[in-house]
Structure 1
Amino acid sequence: MNCRKERIYMATRQSVEDCLQQCRNALEYAAQQYQQASMQEHDNDGNFVQGQLMLEEAYNDLDKLLLSANEQQREQLHRMRLQIQQMQNNMILLNH
């Protein structure tokens, strides 16, 4: 399940947890691809780009869920958004 199935008026605890899990999965995959790319140069470009796309999708879904989140949920989602942005920046700046 991904974050796109959030409630219209209020995010449920489950929708927030599902979104956070999607973000953690994207971060983990992107971190693996970042590490491999930093060692291998251009051998793994497809997976590296896939990692970037997963981060972008997770970020966009998280952003949508923020609209219906309560204050506590917004704090959790904001922290995750910062982690995603940091990984995106790292991947963009990697001289690969």
Structure 2
Amino acid sequence: MATRQSVDDCLEQCKNALNYATDQYEEASLQEHNNVGTYNQSQLMLEEAYNDLDKLLLSANEQQREQLHRMRLQIQQMQNNMILLNQ
């Protein structure tokens, strides 16, 4: 079973990745991809956070799974937005 601290740490990591990705997404949409390096880095951070969520979901209880699932949906939405902006 996942500890409360491990879930909180994972959610915090995800929030940080989402905040960074949101900043990079907004900047990229204004500058038309002049920040490719940091944009790609933010996508990598999102992917790592997503993978960590998946691992933690395996040992989470029902309430924790709900929290993690909501965060996973937010990460997926940001990933989709970033991919569409790249096209």
TM bracket, shorter-chain basis: over 0.9
Q: Could you tell me how far apart the structure 2 residues matched to 1:53 and 1:90 are?
A: 14
Name the counterpart of 1:44: 35
Shift in Å, 1:41: 1.1
Q: 1:58 aligns with which of 41, 49, 67?
A: 49
How many aligned positions are there? 87
Superposition map of 1:1-96 within 5 A: 10-95=1-86
TM-score by length of 1: 0.88
The gaps in structure 1 that reach 5 residues or longer are 1-9
* TM-score normalised by L of structure 2: 0.97
For 2:33, what is the secondary structure of its paired residue?
Answer: coil
User: After the TM superposition, which parts of structure 1 deviate over 2 Å for at least 4 consecutive aligned residues?
Assistant: none
RMSD of aligned residue pairs (Cα, Å):
0.9
Post-superposition Cα deviations, 1:50-70, rounded to whole Å, max 9, x if no partner, equal 000000000000000000000
Structure 2 letter corresponding to 1:39? L
